[in-house]
Amino acid sequence: MVQPPSRKRATGRVTLADVARLAGVSPITVSRALRGERAVDPALAARAQDAARELGYVPDLAARTLASRHGTHVAVLIPMLSNALFVDMLEALQAVLRRAGYQTLIGITHYDAEEEEQLLREQLAHRPAGLMVTGLDHSAATLEMMAHSGVPCVHLMETSDGAGVYSVGLSQAEAGAAMTRHLLERGRRRIAFAAAQLDPRTLQRLDGWRRELRAAGLHDAALEWCDPAPSSLALGGRMFEDILRRDPAVDAVFFCNDDLAQGALLAAQRLGVAVPGRIAVAGFNDLVGSELMVPALTTVRTPRREIGEVGARLLLQLIRQEPPAQASIDLGFTLVVREST
Amino acid sequence: MVQPPSRKRATGRVTLADVARLAGVSPITVSRALRGERAVDPALAARAQDAARELGYVPDLAARTLASRHGTHVAVLIPMLSNALFVDMLEALQAVLRRAGYQTLIGITHYDAEEEEQLLREQLAHRPAGLMVTGLDHSAATLEMMAHSGVPCVHLMETSDGAGVYSVGLSQAEAGAAMTRHLLERGRRRIAFAAAQLDPRTLQRLDGWRRELRAAGLHDAALEWCDPAPSSLALGGRMFEDILRRDPAVDAVFFCNDDLAQGALLAAQRLGVAVPGRIAVAGFNDLVGSELMVPALTTVRTPRREIGEVGARLLLQLIRQEPPAQASIDLGFTLVVREST
DNA sequence: CTGAAAGCGCTTACAG
DNA sequence: CTGAAAGCGCTTACAG
C-alpha cells in the first residue's frame, strides 16, 4: 500500500490541465465549469465535466485553498466527544455543512483553555472558511486569534448580548431556574445542586438555581455540591451517596447533567432509596436513556440538534457575507417532567 | 467579525518571506529551522525562530501540503459518533497522532457504503498523509480508491490475514464464541442472540455464537433475533420484551452490543423480570455504565483505546516508510463476568 | 462567455 | 550548512 518516494517531481495525479487538454478548453474554463461558477457555455461545461469524469479527476483542495485563500472546510471546537450532547450537535451541524459543500474539522479541547488555544492555532493554519466554537468563554489569546483571523465565527450553546458576537443556544441560567421552580412547586424544600466539570454552562445553571432558592428563602451554601472532575455516571452515583449521608435532610437533588442523574438513579436502586418518594432526582440535557431509567428521569431538554443546524446555517450566511437577521439566536429549552421528581 | 472582501491580492498574512526578512536569512532556511528538518546552523535557527515568534507567524498548511504533496493530517472514517466504542477509539488515536504533529479529519459513514465512498473521495482530495478506516469490509470502489491513492491505510477493529492489508483489532468471532461458551457453562440451554445494525463485526459475533451452539447441539434459527435498525437502549428493551413473549423458553440473551443489553436490563426491571434468575443477559464491548447497571452487566471488554493507539502508531510507521513488524495486530478481548449471567 | 498571465505560500531538488 | 530557481495545482483579477 505504501508507495516508494517518487524521485521525480510530478505526482502522477490527474490535474486540471489534463482535463482541459482532453476537453479542448482552457484550465480556467474547466475550473469554472466544475465549480458551477459564473456562466460557462453549457456545451463547454458538459465537455469539461465529461473529461473530468473520464479521467477520474479529483480537485486538489490544498491548491484550491492556497489560490482562493480560504478552505472548503469549517473548523469546529467542542469540549468532549464522550458527552452525547456534543455528538448530537456535531452530527446535526455536519449534515448542514456537508450539504453546502463544506467539510468539518473537529477539535476536542477537553475543557482546557490552553488546548483550545493550540487547537485553534492549528486549525487556523488550515485556513478554514468558518469557525464554530462552544460557549462564549475563551482565553484572551483565543479571542484575539479569532478576531485577528477574520474568519467568521459562531458560538454554540449559549446566548450572547455582546455586539459582533454570533451565537446560537439557550439561556442556561433560565433553564436552571425553571427546573428549580419545578422542584419548589413539587413541595421540595431542601434542594441540592450537584455539579461536575464546572464549565461555564454548568455554572450558569448553578446561578439560575441560586436565584430561585434565594427568592424562596431556601438557599444554603451547603447545598452546593460542586466537583471539578469530569461528569460521569459513576461520579453521579458517588455524589448521590455523599449527599444522602452527609445531609439527610436534602429532599431533592438537581444534577447539572443527565449522566450524573442517571448514575444517581442507579445508585438509588442499588441502595434501596425510594425516588421520588424519599428524594427527588432531576437532570439536565435529556440525554439518551433518561426516559428509560426506572424511575424515568425528569430533566431539561436542550435543543442541541437545532443548535447545530441553526448554527451551521448562520455560519453559512456569514461566510457568504449575507447579513444575518440577528446575531444571537435563543432556541430555548423544555422542562420534561417524568417520574423521578 | 466578518471582513469585507479585500480588493487587493495580498492577504495581509505573515509569510515565510516576512520572517526571513526580519531574521536576515533566506526563506528556505526559516522553513527548515521551523520544521526542524536537516541541520541548520543553531544561531540561524534561533534567529529564525525568534523572528517567527515576534511576527506571530503561522505556516500556511495549504501551501505546505501543495508543495510537499502530502498533508499534515490523517483522515479517519468511522461509522458513528453516537456509539461510545468509536468515540473511545477516536480519542485514543487522535492523542497519538496529535503528538506526532498530525491532525485528524473525521468522516462519519453512518454504516453506509455509498457515504463512505463519497467521504473517502473528499478526504483524499485533501491529500491526507494517512488513512484509518473501520473494518475490512468496503465497496469495490472504496478499495480501489484506497489502493490507487497510495496513501498508507490502517483498518481498525478487525483482524485480517490478507497480504498488504494493515489492521489492528480483535477476532470478533472468537469473542462471540467465548461469551457463548460462558453462558453454556453457566448451564443455559436456550441462548438467544439479539443483534441490531448488522454490520460486519456484529455478524462475526453471530458466527461465533452459532459455532458454539451448533457444537453443543443447541442451535436453532429461531434463536437469532436480528434487526437492521441502529442499536440503542430503547431497541434493546423492545427486543427483550419480544423475546420473552414469543419464546418464553429462552433462558439467556446475548446482545451484540452493550447498549441493547442495558436497555434489556432496564426493561427487565420495569417488567419485574428477574435477571439472572429467570433469564441471563449478556452484552458486548463493556460500554460506559455497564458495570453500574442493576444487576451489573456481564460483557466482553474490547480494547478500543489500545486499538486506536496501536493503530495510530502503526500508521505513523507506514507514513515514515518503516516496515512494521506485522501487518495484522490482534489485541484480543476480555470476558467480564458480572451479575447478569 | 473565455483565456493568458500572475500569484497564492510553501518545499523539493539541485548546486555550491 | 545555505540558497536561487522552479514548481506544487489551482483561482483571482483583468482584459477582451
Q: Tell me if residue A313 falls in helix, strand or coil.
A: helix
Q: How many helices (H) and strands (E) does chain B have?
A: 12, 12
Work out the angle between the directed axes of helices A140-149 and A113-125 (0-180°, nearest 10). 20
* Predicted confidence (pLDDT) per residue in B241-298, tens digit: 999 999 999 999 999 999 999 999 999 999 999 999 999 999 999 999 999 999 999 9
Q: Is residue B5 part of a domain?
A: no
- In chain A, beta strands by DSSP E: 73-78, 103-108, 130-134, 153-157, 166-169, 191-196, 224-227, 252-255, 280-282, 299-301, 328-330, 334-336
Are A181 and A289 members of one domain? yes
d(CA B72, CA A35): 26
Q: Is residue A195 part of a domain?
A: yes
pLDDT of the residue at B38? 66
d(CA B324, CA B66): 28
Asked if strand D comes closer than 7 Å to A8 Cβ, the answer is no
pLDDT at A36 over 80: yes
Give the residue from B58, B292, B339 with the most A CB atoms within 10 Å of its CB, the best one to mutate.
B292
* Predicted confidence (pLDDT) per residue in B90-148, tens digit: 999 999 999 998 999 999 999 999 999 999 998 998 889 999 999 999 999 999 889 88
* Predicted confidence (pLDDT) per residue in A47-106, tens digit: 999 999 998 888 999 999 999 988 899 999 999 998 999 999 999 999 999 999 899 999
Mean pLDDT across B52-64: 90
First to last CA, chain B: 58
Q: Is residue B65 part of a domain?
A: no
Q: Is residue B337 part of a domain?
A: no
pLDDT at B6 over 70: no
**Å from A48 (CA) to D12 (C1')?**
20
Are B187 and B94 members of one domain? no
Are A148 and A245 members of one domain? no
Are B183 and B159 members of one domain? no
The residue count for chain B: 341
Report the percentage of chain A scoring pLDDT > 90. Answer: 81
Are A185 and A293 members of one domain? yes
Using left for φ > 0, alpha for ψ between -120 and 50, and beta otherwise, residue A272 falls in left
| Dihedral sign computed on CA atoms, order B251, B253, B258, B264 | negative
* Predicted confidence (pLDDT) per residue in A175-225, tens digit: 999 999 999 999 999 999 999 999 999 999 999 999 999 999 999 999 999
pLDDT at B5 over 70: no
d(CA B185, CA A227): 43
Are A145 and A211 members of one domain? no
CATH of the domain at B226: 3.40.50.2300
Are B179 and B265 members of one domain? yes
Q: How confident is the model at residue A162 (pLDDT cuts 50, 70, 90)?
A: confident
**Å from A148 (CA) to D15 (C1')?**
35
The nt closest to B125 (CA vs C1′) is: D9
Q: Is residue B7 part of a domain?
A: no
Q: Is residue A78 part of a domain?
A: yes
Contact yes or no for A292 and B266 at CB 8 A? yes
* Predicted confidence (pLDDT) per residue in A310-332, tens digit: 999 999 999 988 889 999 999 99
Mean pLDDT across B321-340: 95
Q: Is residue B6 part of a domain?
A: no
Strand pairing class (B252-255; B299-301): unpaired
Provide the β-strand partners of residue B78.
Answer: B108
Q: Which residue bears the cell 449527599?
A: A243
pLDDT of the residue at A64? 93
pLDDT at A1 over 60: no
pLDDT of the residue at B30? 92
| Other Cβ atoms within 10 Å of B50 Cβ, number | 13
Structural domain ending residue among the three candidates A6, A31, A59: A59
**Å from A28 (CA) to D15 (C1')?**
15
Q: How confident is the model at residue A38 (pLDDT cuts 50, 70, 90)?
A: low
Distance from CA of A250 to the nearest CA of B (A): 24
> Which is more confidently placed, B267 or A42?
B267
Report whether A329 contacts A314 (CB < 8 A).
Answer: yes
pLDDT of the residue at B158? 95
Mean pLDDT across A36-51: 85
Closest protein CA to C1' of nucleotide C3, residue:
A26
* Predicted confidence (pLDDT) per residue in B237-246, tens digit: 999 999 999 9
pLDDT of the residue at B11? 58
Report whether A64 contacts A35 (CB < 8 A).
Answer: no
Q: What is the pTM of this model?
A: 0.92
Asked if strand C comes closer than 7 Å to B43 Cβ, the answer is no
Are B151 and B191 members of one domain? no
The residue count for chain A: 341
Question: In chain B, which residues have their Cβ closer than 8 Å to the Cβ of A90?
Answer: 81
* Range of the structural domain that residue B55 is part of: 16-59
User: In total, how many domains does chain A have?
Assistant: 3
User: For chain B, what is the mean pLDDT?
Assistant: 92
Are B179 and B269 members of one domain? yes
Asked if strand C comes closer than 7 Å to B29 Cβ, the answer is no
Side by side, which strands form the sheet with B252-255?
Answer: B224-227, B191-196, B252-255, B280-282
Are B156 and B182 members of one domain? no
d(CA A231, CA A224): 16
Q: Phi, psi (5° rounding) for residue A306?
A: -65, -40
Q: Is residue A3 part of a domain?
A: no
Question: In chain A, which residues have their Cβ closer than 8 Å to the Cβ of B264?
Answer: none
pLDDT at B10 over 70: no
Closest protein CA to C1' of nucleotide D12, residue:
A68
Work out the angle between the directed axes of helices A233-246 and A258-271 (0-180°, nearest 10). 60
Are B32 and B91 members of one domain? no
The nt closest to B39 (CA vs C1′) is: D1
**Interface A:B, Cβ pairs < 8 A:** 137
Contact yes or no for A84 and B82 at CB 8 A? yes
pLDDT at A298 over 80: yes
Are B195 and B276 members of one domain? yes
pLDDT of the residue at A164? 81
CA-based nearest residue in chain A for residue B4:
A321
Q: Tell me if residue A164 falls in helix, strand or coil.
A: coil
Mean pLDDT across A107-114: 95
For residue A312, the Cα-to-chain-centroid distance in whole angstroms is 11
